[in-house]
Structure 1
Amino acid sequence: MSNQTTFERSLEGNAPWLFLSPHLDDAVLSCGALIEAQTRQREITVATLFTEAMPAPHTRAARSFMRQCSVMDAGSLFQARQAEDRAVLKAMGVQSVHLGAVDALFRGRRRPAKLRRGVWDALLPELTHRYPTFRFDIALGRIARGDRELIRHLQGSVAELLHQTNSELLFCPAGVGKHVDHMITRGVGEEYPEKLVMYSDFPYDLASEPDEDHLSEMGLLRFTWGSGLETKSRRIKEYITQVDALFPGGAIPLKPETYFVPGPGNAVYESI
């Protein structure tokens, strides 16, 4: 019986891969070096789950994010982000799919039809949003009950993509940093343990550690990929609306990519 991990066996072949990206940059931020290296020998698709915003009024957290991006209209910002993502992935030789879910910063609560929008919606929009703050809601990784229908829809979309692409492996975030959209994306990926590879969420993993207990329960082993990081940094800089907010000093750390892969034994694998 081979001692190779499922990931290592796939790495030697040319079967298609599917990457789930929570937002319009996460796949390249976390996996860009591996993706670009592998497009030479296989078809790769990046499916981004949360690609839209709702119109104003916006929470303080959402307005702060838009200021960081230097675009204060949410619709214009997400149009620009979608265009950036398509351009970067096309240049890398990757198929891109945008699944159209609303980013957590902009996700509103479902309200009964008989309740009209009132003055408080504009004065305190936090009351009408599913995740009113970043620090105390989005960054805690607690998925709201109101997102259940959204999750079911995303599960169906990913199932269809797996069928269409015939992907051998499915990559999803490990949830480092606990952003709620990353946790939802992780949960969607975990529906396919036989195909699953998790990736460490960069740049969250510069300050936070992965949930080792969760990874251990799933029987996942660490695998690092360190080649092509300079090219990856250039790709990240092509996300013009995001790069200054993500890396205020301008320097992008050349951190090797970390993956968590199913495999035999208890060894820790590192790429050569």
Structure 2
Amino acid sequence: MNRLLLAPHPDDAVWSCGGMLTRWCAEGELTVVTVFDGDTAHSGDADTARRRAEDAAALGRWPLRSVTLGLPEAALRHDAEGRPLYAGPLALRRAPHPLDATLIGRLAALLRPLTAGRDEILLPLAVRTHVDHQLVRSATEAALTAGGAGARARATGPGVTRPGAGGHAAAEPGAEGPGPAGARTTEPRVGQPIAAGPGAAGTHTAEPGATRPGATRPAAVGAGATRPGVTGVGTTGARAAQTGAEGPRVRYYAEFPYAPPSPGGGYREHFEGAEFGDWLRGALVYESQVRGMFGGAAAFARALARRTGPPRRCTWNYWTQAAT
């Protein structure tokens, strides 16, 4: 099994999927691509560098391949006159700014060679979470779908809004080629937590540890279990949503600590048993974010357990698109 896990920011892969990483590494090759982990001339690099170091240390706990694209996150993107594209935390939860319109196509060109030859691709669900999550999902779907216009239309599903036309992207990703231009690859290594510091300004804004209202976790969860009340089967060992007859499986993970609503018709929610201890240990390596968003490790652990269930019944949930 050759998997690709797309993480919009440092911490998204481990915070949202950390309980599955050991299993996925044991099943084959796992590559984690962190997209928005760069800085700009308008921002100091201390917070961004700290988050990159935490991400490298956390991902280094597993024998996986880590690739970073180094693009600046939404809170750090500015227009030609130096004004922020997203003024304030609430703006980060809305549709992409018009100046980010071309970013989907450019990001798709970066991601296309990274998606080639994969058996499975894991994407953020991107329903009412963060604009960068929307961009990553849309760009990856565009990279997977032949014909740019059709890909853009398909990407505007529940919670994914296509940017308006015109303008230019703040980031300038490299052109498509054998590998993404400017991408950094990190070899597997064992990481250790680094010194804590203040949380990076303009990062995730969510309800820590909140659970989507009405969500029900099965009492006994096996691989590929489906949420009660939703028809369908799990995806373990079977084809899930895909871009074509020979395309990879695509699963959409629930981003922690957001509490996204159900994506609605055409999607099925599934649960798989996960390893809570692995999840928590890896997640706590992001000390700056744990302290900045939750106040400390104990509060973070409680929030994670509210999302995943207690350690002995820990689950990871995701969505698939129903076959058409």
Question: Shared topology, TM-score over 0.5?
Answer: yes
Distance in 1 between residues matched to 2:5 and 2:293, nearest whole Å: 21
Q: Shift of residue 198 of structure 1?
A: 0.5
Structure 1 or 2: more helix by fraction: 1
Distance in 2 between residues matched to 1:98 and 1:235, nearest whole Å: 18
Count of paired positions:
209
In structure 1, what is the equivalent of residue 254 of structure 2?
A: 200
In structure 2, what is the equivalent of residue 16 of structure 1?
A: 2
In structure 2, what is the equivalent of residue 9 of structure 1?
A: none
In structure 1, what is the equivalent of residue 132 of structure 2?
A: 181
Q: Is residue 39–residue 70 contact of structure 2 (8 Å, CA) maintained in 1?
A: no
Instruction: Give the counterpart of 2:21 among 35, 46, 50.
Output: 35
For residues 82-129 of structure 1, the C-alpha deviation after alignment (integer angstroms, 9 at most, x for no partner) is 121122112211111111111111101135xxxxxxxxx6xxxxxx11
In structure 2, what is the equivalent of residue 209 of structure 1?
A: 261
Distance in 2 between residues matched to 1:226 and 1:30, nearest whole Å: 14
* Counterpart amino acid of residue 89 in structure 2: F
Instruction: Give the counterpart of 2:291 among 224, 244, 247.
Output: 244
- TM-score, normalised to structure 1, is 0.71
Structure 2 counterparts to residues 144-183 of structure 1, below 5 A:
144-163=97-116, 166-183=117-134
- TM-score, normalised to structure 2, is 0.60
Distance in 2 between residues matched to 1:80 and 1:153, nearest whole Å: 26
Structure 2 residues without counterparts, runs of 5 or longer: 145-241, 309-314
The higher relative CO (CA closer than 8 Å, separation ≥ 6) is in 1
Q: Shift of residue 263 of structure 1?
A: 5.4
Distance in 2 between residues matched to 1:35 and 1:221, nearest whole Å: 22
Instruction: Give the counterpart of 1:110 among 57, 68, 80.
Output: 80
Structure 1 residues without counterparts, runs of 5 or longer: 1-14, 59-73, 112-120, 122-127, 266-272
Q: Is residue 61–residue 282 contact of structure 2 (8 Å, CA) maintained in 1?
A: no
- 1:260 paired to 2:319: yes
Distance in 2 between residues matched to 1:42 and 1:172, nearest whole Å: 18
* Counterpart amino acid of residue 29 in structure 2: E
Question: Aligned Cα RMSD in Å?
Answer: 2.0
Structure 2 counterparts to residues 216-235 of structure 1, below 5 A:
216=265, 219-235=266-282
Determine what percentage of the aligned residue pairs are the same residue: 27
SS of residue in 2 equivalent to 1:243: helix
Distance in 2 between residues matched to 1:158 and 1:97, nearest whole Å: 11
Instruction: Give the counterpart of 2:38 among 52, 65, 75.
Output: 52
